[in-house]
Amino acid sequence: MADQKRAVTPEDIKKIRVVHDPHLSSDGEKYAYVQTSVRNDREYNSHLFIHHFTDDIPVQWTFGEVRDHSPRWSPDGTELAFVSNRSGVHQLWVMSAAGGEPRQLTSLKHGVSDPDWSPDGKYLLFTTSARADEDIFSHEESPDEYETKPVKIERLRYKSEGNGFHRGRRTQLALLDMKSKETRILTSGAFDHHSARWAPDSRQIVFSANRNPDEDVSSVLDLFIIDTETSDTVKLTDSTGVFSNASWSHDGHRIACIGHELEYQGATLNQVWIINPLTKERRCVTIKWDVQIGDAAVSDLRAGQADLSPVWAKDQKHLYFSASENGNTGIYQMDLEGEITPVHEEDNHVFGFSYHPRLDFFIAGISDPSNPGDFYKIEKPEKGKVRLTDVNADFIQSVHLSIPEPVAAKAEDGWDIQGWLMRPAFFEEGQHYPLLLEIHGGPHAMYANTFFHELQMLAAQGYVVLYTNPRGSHGYGQTFVNACRGDYGGKDYTDLMTAVDQVIEQYDFIDEERLGVTGGSYGGFMTNWIVGHTNRFKAAVTQRSISNWTSFYGVSDIGFFFTDWEIGARVHDDPDKLWDHSPLKYVQHINTPLLIMHGENDYRCPMEQAEQLFTALQYLEKPTMFLRFPQSGHDLSRNGAPGLRVERLKHMAAWFEKHL
């Protein structure tokens, strides 16, 4: 019975199992995937599961207090390679398809990532990192190696969110010979190499890198081909854009990739490109489709979207890829002239897929607002999808979920703004409820028809939850996503306020005297901006936010180019513009009780952004509280320590309860 279900709680984040990264075997009889669950307040477990289509349920293949991920079937289907930290550092391991214990393949000092089998099965390609002239085949480094040593910094890009200080290390491609078990570093130089994939001849590899002298300042990403026998390297693109996630046609005559030419800097839509590896001729085949290629959906269950390369059909006349439009992420088929046909286009979120070219079917990971995510088999568009897993059945059956209602707002200048409204759990007609406005980060991202635990938890606390995609969001074309650049706090702000006004007018159960607002990253910036420009909200929670663009320029891992891209100024040539767009400038106008939450290891929006805002508010005796989360980065809400994720939600709920 529905009335026997309980409300969603902050602690439920520990109960949800997250599945991702499906990979079909070459015979098409089974697929492997990763399932992540909470181990304790500090750690997660990630294990590999195998699902034979003749079996009703998947079988768990790896066990223990470990993080196993990136499963990759050998071309003949006899082995499954994967990455695991079971030896302490993430290394390559392999298991027989018949079962048995995993065998360790690498012992590199800084670990490995992104494995890919050669088509002949003789090699495993992967990435690793190293400093110049460093012996990465020696013993593993001590975790305390750098704690008592100064950090020598000689380059602009010396740190990054998720990786911390680079300490001179660069990402290189490496080959493991499966017969001799010897590893050879394939690339070299003071450059980072990514997204490497084999050609059908098992000799050439296409990869992405910025090998230009100004690579620290420039944001371009080129495609290269390297010959694994001679190490000869050919550059395919001409440093005019960002190209990655390449895949070879089955005959090796063409390469498909995802990219753009930075026409709108970081707000440029991704497109699908076809490149002739011999002539280097390239053409954009989705140029007529005003849609973001790839997964732009945001959720608090997945940190970052899967970087899926375009997949070639068996006939080599069609490609498959994901794209994000109008709050949905689906799978699409395209011929080489740019004619696009939906394969799966529903009100949900495809967070990954694997395609079998010979048997012509997909395994797709799909989430919607009532399901954190499961796998489905999709044979043909007209046949729909067949559900294969039900990994969160116990959780879903035990809780009352609020199903979002689509809402549409008309901006002041006539632009259409899409959003969703969630009624409070156990909603009762005739009652009046406070409203919370949620604002996503990015800003070039997209709220979507996907599961969002935080939103469900707030609805369970008795709030109406409103979340929208204001201009600057993905999913509505190039003009829309570019529209906030140079105008942060302008029409993106009025889009949000207009949406609030219109849902209040439309829904008579909203108490317009009890409004709250929260958001993270860009959403945290906008939360700070809102409370500095209106007193209509009675409580606010700002998370991993930006408060001062002038200092952000020099402290964020992306600040030196992001401020120019998004605000339109650099600190050395127009500090006034950066200050005009900084919420800190308007701190004297903030009267809304503001909870500031920030991770101490955030390299994207560093802690000083929160400290400046809190210090100013405290000095002015404004109602505020500051929560610092130890050993937590920018993705605290998505992949931080489970216990801290729960604490974050509890404090958010308590703050709104106190002030609303």
Ramachandran assignment for 431, one of left (phi > 0), alpha (psi -120 to 50 degrees), beta (any other) = beta
Is 418:326 a contact under the CB 8 Å cutoff?
A: yes
Q: How many angstroms separate the CA atoms of 634 and 639, rounded? A: 9
Q: How many angstroms separate the CA atoms of 449 and 349, rounded? A: 6
Is 24:356 a contact under the CB 8 Å cutoff?
A: yes
Token pair belonging to 399 = 């809780």
Token pair belonging to 440 = 């996503």
Position 47: which residue type? Answer: H
Which parts of 122-199 are beta strand (E)? Answer: 123-130, 159-160, 164-165, 170-177, 183-185, 193-198
Position 139: which residue type? Answer: H
Ramachandran assignment for 167, one of left (phi > 0), alpha (psi -120 to 50 degrees), beta (any other) = left
What is the C-alpha R_g of the chain? 25
Q: How many angstroms separate the CA atoms of 601 and 631, rounded? A: 6
**Omega before residue 443 within 30° of 0, cis:** yes
Identify the CA nearest to 189 among candidates 149, 151, 231: 231
47 labelled catalytic: no
Q: How many angstroms separate the CA atoms of 91 and 239, rounded? A: 33
444 labelled catalytic: no
The catalytic residue among 70, 634, 637, 659 is 634
Listed in sequence order, the residues at least 6 apart from 518 whose beta carbon sits closer than 8 Å to its beta carbon are 436, 437, 438, 439, 527, 540, 541, 542, 543, 652
The catalytic residue among 25, 354, 473, 521 is 521
Is 437:515 a contact under the CB 8 Å cutoff?
A: yes
Q: Cite the active site residues.
A: 521, 634
